A and B are shown apart, each in its own frame.
Chain A
Amino acid sequence: MSPVIAFEGVAPYGGKPTTIVVQDGVIADIGADASVPAGAARVDASGLVALPGLVDLHTHLREPGREDAETIETGSRSAARGGFTAVHAMANTTPVADTAGVVEQVWSRGREIGLVDVFPVGAVTVGLGGTQLSEMGAMAMSRARVRVFSDDGRCVHDPVLMRRALEYAKTFDGVIAQHAQDPRLTEGAQMHEGVVSAELGLTGWPAVAEESIIARDVLLAGHVGARVHICHVSTAGSVDIIRWAKSKGIQVTAEVMPHHLLLTDESARGYDPRFKVNPPLRTQEDVEALRAGLADGTIDIVATDHAPHPDEDKDCEWAAAAFGMIGLETALGVVQLTMVDTGRMTWEDVSERMAVLPARIGRVDDAHGRPLAQGEPATITLVDPNSPWTVDPSATASRSNNSPFGGVTLPGRAVATLLRGVVTHAEPSLGLEPREAWT
């Protein structure tokens, strides 16, 4: 039985401070004159912002297969710490999540741990091989209720196969989430192709390899009347194409990663593989275009692409290192740093981009991304926007330490996370006992 909690002085969506009462898993009351039951734990939440629990549409939990990098448990803990109440676990595990069996295994493990709702993403093709459609229907009808399908890590390159996948997913209101990377144009690619790569002697990953796939896929989606979602948009050209597609009524949604909002290819100059990621860090012009696209809604959501890797896959020369960065615990802080504190987004916008819209795209909006209102599930994230902290890559709940933000000071963070009234994360200062002891 979860305790009754009254959060006093909290600002929903960054608005006027008020009181939120959480009881029996729902928001029992909300308002300045909210009735606080006797025996309720009263939490001084003055200065905090309340948002609907954050939803990550793009996470890598690595289990099954790479438990040395992350497990569903450690990933869940990291997500809860970052203010997330739901994560969509990508399918590039071992074995690949291309059958009902695997996705149900991941889903039930997530439920067992109970820190976040884990929604498995199903592979588009069997074994991520790109040649044969996976049994998307079976996955959709399983207990895991898969609605998002992606071969992320690989691009669905074959245009005919992508067309079929887009059409087929309409059967169960699913969406294909494309990792846009033309494999032929990016053979051996290590970093963004540009001035820096020419100097560093690293094979380039040209922007056109992303843009050409997005252009193709939005046209396909328009032609067959299907939804398409573009993972980790990273170039200015991609933003332009998506903006054009939306203006034509095409049902495209897009996500951007926090690291693409802040870092550029200049970070590669030290050959430190902590900055090696796919798609790569690009130029300042691209960063500006992504920020503008996120602010005006061309890019619908922020997702983390949390990609844990063990130390030995990063503690080496660049070309030998794995691609990817962890990001569940730093996402909110980076978004605040680059978008809220610069005045380009409000906390309401953050709620849209990091909770409401991801939930809608993933079709989990019956339980997530709900309004902060009486009767709604008490799935809430409390943010302290005035708590500067310096990122220490090794001090994370994730099993891996490959964060590019080491030493960066972020302005705020999630100080408490509730999933249907259960406290899954809480900093000691709040006086709440989270579901697992906070370390």
Chain B
Amino acid sequence: MRHLLSAGDLTRDDAIRILDTAVQMAATQEREQRKLPTLRGRTVVNLFFEDSTRTRISFEAAAKRLSADVINFSAKGSSVSKGESLKDTALTLQAMGADAVVVRHWASGAAQRLATSGWMHGSVVNAGDGTHQHPTQALLDSYTIRRHLVAEPEGKGLEGLRVAIVGDILHSRVARSNVDLLTTLGAEVVLVAPPTLVPVGASAWPVTTVHTLDEAIETHELDAVMMLRVQRERMTGGGAAFFPSPEEYSRLFGLDGARLRRLPEHAIVMHPGPMNRGLEISAEAADSARSVIVEQVANGVAVRMAVLYLLLAGEESAS
């Protein structure tokens, strides 16, 4: 494995390998001495064009626990103010000797451009590109689901499980990555969103789509509910708003205590963070015993350790 650009690139075997490796990484994190020498001498660059303290820290922790050197490169440059181009930044990193670049960018496809344009030779890990993909998020989500809902998980996928993804599918890279990975691992996916927030082309996806959370809960025995963050800006764009008001959104799609209690007893509640408490998820649901939201963060470090190990530890594979 040379790059991790999209969850859609992973086969079932690839995905299970990453999850199983993450189990071993997580085990080492239980010790007092949590640092491993495995990636000593390797340089991992966190190249973040979009602010994201949580994801960056997660990758930083993962790299450091494997004894890699970490360089944080917070690049300026938006669609309005061009700043230093992606190409020039890549050339600089290549000159600095980056073995791996963890990149988060506001433009879909940025990670792929970085990996395939020939500007740099290191491994590229997509930490979120526009509305396209966020593969390590999907991996830590699947890891979390597997940990809670699959007995003796090593070597196994998510066959037979039913997962609902609720919210702004259209603009969510977390949703796209999860649709890819969950279906690859054999789970059934139900998308829950108003029609305005489901992409036109999603009719080709191997998922079921329903338009209220109540319908999803009633018609499916859900094992996990993944709440996506709603962006308030999407609701206020004048005539072009995707949704009339936050209140109506909460009424139809919010996970509150009442809906929580109608879920099967074993069902877990997930959220990639950061949460809008009271909007897409009530405080009661977020803090309930069935919520694994905090654990998702911890699992993120182990999963990212696994990804960095699998990309960097072995010999340089031919691209």
Contact = CB atoms under 8 A, between A and B. Distances in A.
B85 A312 contact: yes
Given A193-B200, A195-B204, A320 B109 contact: no
Interface in A170-199: 184, 187, 190, 193-199
B201 A271 contact: no
A194 B203 CA distance: 10
Contact of A200 (B85, B108, B200, B205): B108
Contacts of B205: 198
A317 B201 contact: no
Q: Of B105, B109, B133, B176, which is in contact with the most chain A CB atoms at under 10 Å from its CB?
A: B109
A327 interface: no
Contact of A206 (B105, B110, B200): B200
Nearest to B109: A271
B1 interface: no
Interface residues of B, number: 31
Given A319-B79, A319-B108, A198 B240 contact: no
A281 B202 CA distance: 19
B87 A197 contact: no
B87 A201 contact: no
Interface in A316-330: 316-320
A200 B79 CA distance: 18
Contacts of B283: none
A200 B129 CA distance: 10
Contacts, number: 79
B133 A201 contact: yes
B187 interface: no
A200 B132 contact: yes
B113 A204 contact: no
Contacts of A195: 201, 203-204
Contacts of A319: 79, 106-109, 130
B240 A184 contact: yes
A312 to B, nearest CB: 7
B200 A194 contact: yes
Contacts of B82: 320
Interface string B156-185: 000000000000000001001000000000
B86 interface: yes
Contact of A316 (B113, B132, B176, B200): B113
Interface in B75-131: 79, 82, 85-87, 105-110, 112-113, 116-117, 129-131
Nearest to B117: A315
Given A319-B107, A320-B82, 15 more contacts: A190-B108, A197-B199, A198-B201, A200-B132, A201-B108, A201-B129, A201-B130, A201-B132, A201-B176, A315-B87, A316-B113, A317-B113, A318-B108, A319-B130, A320-B86
